[in-house]
Amino acid sequence: MGKAEGMAPPAIALRGIEKRFGAVHANRAVDLTVRRGTIHGIIGENGAGKSTLMAILHGFYQADAGSILVNGREVAIRDSRDAIRLGIEMVHQHFMLVERFTVLENVMLGAEGGPLLARGAAKARAELARLGEAFGLRVDPDARIENLPVGAQQRVEILKALYRGAELLILDEPTGVLTPQEADDLFRVLRALRAQGRTVLLITHKLREIMAITDRVSVMRAGRMVAHRETAATSVAELGELMIGRRLAAPAPRPAPKPGPVLLEARNLSVRDAAGVERVKGVDLALRGGEILGIAGVAGNGQGELLEALAGMRRPSAGEIRLGGQTVFPGRDFNPAALRRQRLGHVPEDRLRSGLLRNASAAETAILGYQDDPSWRRFGLLAPAAVAAHAARLMRDYDVRPADPALRSALFSGGNQQKLILAREIDRDPQVLLVGQPTRGVDIGGIDAIHQRLLACRAAGKAVLLVSVELDEIMALADRILVMFDGRIMGELAAAEADEQRLGLLMAGVAPERAA
């Protein structure tokens, strides 16, 4: 296409890329052309094959078939060193930085420039200053990574890539950990890169980001490239449809909340993490039946520890927790099992790490936490048939696919794993439901189903505490929103008065008085 238009060859051209993992056909006949000096978006649901494609481009996987052309020349990318040599750099969703090293040391990593560090360091320092100037990427070269905010760490990742001569920068879900304001800063940097002729590939599932920053966008679905569009000539609605292959129903209007009695209350709650660092600092909250209370915040501001403490998994260092009017902390019987008996349900933040048994069947995952229930025992022994029947019923009622209780839990998609966990917790008819990041890694169809379940809990008079880093999710579901920053509640907003601007400032730790 580049030649036909009489332009320079495209920065990257993929032709007929195929990749299989066993029975999974992750990439099917994928074609992609990325023009030099553009910001090119790739969108698709989880599992659509975006990450596989990028991993092939970055040399982490080899394609089974197909060819890769860089600047019009066919190349073989066998490992990431090949990719780096070709000027292809990737900024991962989870940063690859040495926490205890300084910015300068991290940037030099892998490009030390000789046996003695001093010369390389001087060169790197000068180069960092130049890059910072050119692209608006200013970071103190002598700051330690562990002391930098997430947005600055991401800038270091980008600097690292540029220092090694990146011509094509791949960013994988770069805004997942950023506040909206930090995301705007990132976009400014990306525009500066484009202005200087570098090429950016942006992987995301957020349609609004695609619309805001990209020049062109390619849509993947089920391993295929289903469409390429000029961003200016498409719309969020069209892209959404292309992504999921059907039209999304408009969300039904929510009935007004009917708040019931306070079912969960925390007073002056403080929680330390395993290392003894205070992560929750004197939090007060009250949660009523029939409402969804959202807790917003950039990941890592104490929401996780708060949720674990409320669920009984982590002993608070101070404060009080009342569940259904009874004080459970401080108290002798403060543990997840006892709280479950008092009808507290908990969908954990990290379902893969703590919510399900990856190597056991879905049936075993379906009784996790409730293994002592006598209803799946016969003659005092666990009856696999009873457990499987229970799992089969949950899978049917909550549309978990495939509805096979014998299938290993790890083999379900993220959305179906989450539906199974929700089914397990909601089926026990809890009075309070704690939910952490319910739609992380869940595809759009699954997100909708999970949101409907949470709204149904609210309609049934249950008290739902929703912790999420997805502002869209919080704004779509919560009746009231608390914003956490550095272990404290920065402010509370009613659903009606919450918008991205206000939430973003609170998430960044700007107190409402100063924000006004």
Partner 1 sequence: MGDVPRWAELALLPVLNLLLALALTALLVLATGGDPVAALTALAVGSLGSADALGYTLYYATNMAFTGLAVAVAFQGGLFNIGAEGQAYLAGLGVTLAALHLGFLPAALLVPLAIAGGAAFGAAWAAIPGWLQARRGSHIVITTIMFNFLAAALMVHLIVNLLTAPGSMAPESPPFPEAASLPGLAQLGFPSSAPVNLALGLAVLAALGVWLLVWRTPWGYALRVMGQSPAVASYAGIDQGRMIILVMALSGALAGGVAVNELLGAQHKLLLGFTSGYGFTGIAVALMGRNHPAGVLLAALLFGALTQGGAELAFEVPDVPSEIVVLIQGLVILFTGALGNMLRPALARVLGRAGG
**Is 389 among the residues that bind partner 1 (CB under 8 A)?**
no
- Cβ atoms of residues 408 and 359 within 8 Å: yes
**Is 440 among the residues that bind partner 1 (CB under 8 A)?**
no
User: Among 25, 28, 358, 451, which residue interacts with partner 1 (rule: CB under 8 A)?
Assistant: 358
**Is 382 among the residues that bind partner 1 (CB under 8 A)?**
yes
In the complex, minimum distance from the CB of residue 325 to partner 1, in angstroms, rounded to a whole number: 21
Q: Which stretch binds partner 1 (CB under 8 A): 120-128, 166-174, 210-218, 345-353?
A: 345-353
User: Among 147, 196, 268, 371, which residue interacts with partner 1 (rule: CB under 8 A)?
Assistant: 371
Residues near 4 by Cβ (< 8 Å), separated by ≥ 6? Answer: none
Residue that the structure tokens 């009917």 belong to: 258
**Is 414 among the residues that bind partner 1 (CB under 8 A)?**
no
- Cβ atoms of residues 41 and 214 within 8 Å: yes
- How far apart, in whole angstroms, are the C-alpha atoms of residue 29 and residue 493? 48
C-beta neighbour count of 402 within 10 angstroms: 12
**Span between the terminal Cα atoms of the chain, in Å:** 51
Task: Give one DSSP letter per residue of 360-418, joined into a string.
Answer: SBHHHHTTTT-TT-GGGEETTEE-HHHHHHHHHHHHHHTT-SS--TTSBGGGS-HHHHH
**Is 132 among the residues that bind partner 1 (CB under 8 A)?**
no
**Helices 384-397 & 414-426, crossing angle to 10 degrees?**
110
Nearest residue (CB) to partner 1, 182 versus 364: 364
User: Among 1, 122, 195, 337, which residue interacts with partner 1 (rule: CB under 8 A)?
Assistant: 337
In the complex, minimum distance from the CB of residue 276 to partner 1, in angstroms, rounded to a whole number: 14
In the complex, minimum distance from the CB of residue 358 to partner 1, in angstroms, rounded to a whole number: 7
**Number of residues forming the site for partner 1 (CB under 8 A):** 30
Torsion from C-alpha of 399, 354, 52, 20, nearest 10 degrees:
-60
Q: Which stretch binds partner 1 (CB under 8 A): 118-126, 368-376, 396-404, 487-495?
A: 368-376
- Hey, what amino acid is at 460? A
**Is 375 among the residues that bind partner 1 (CB under 8 A)?**
no
**Is 316 among the residues that bind partner 1 (CB under 8 A)?**
no
**Is 22 among the residues that bind partner 1 (CB under 8 A)?**
yes
Residue list 477-496, contact with partner 1 (CB under 8 A): none
- Cβ atoms of residues 316 and 270 within 8 Å: yes
**Is 19 among the residues that bind partner 1 (CB under 8 A)?**
no
In the complex, minimum distance from the CB of residue 309 to partner 1, in angstroms, rounded to a whole number: 13
> Counting beta carbons within 10 angstroms of the beta carbon of residue 492, is it exposed (0 to 12), middle (13 to 18) or buried (19 or more)?
middle
User: Among 246, 247, 353, 514, which residue interacts with partner 1 (rule: CB under 8 A)?
Assistant: 353
**Is 410 among the residues that bind partner 1 (CB under 8 A)?**
no
**Is 196 among the residues that bind partner 1 (CB under 8 A)?**
no
Find out whether the peptide bond into 512 is cis, omega within 30 degrees of 0: no
List interacting residues with partner 1 (CB under 8 A).
22, 311-313, 335-340, 346, 348, 353-360, 364, 367-369, 371-372, 377, 380-382
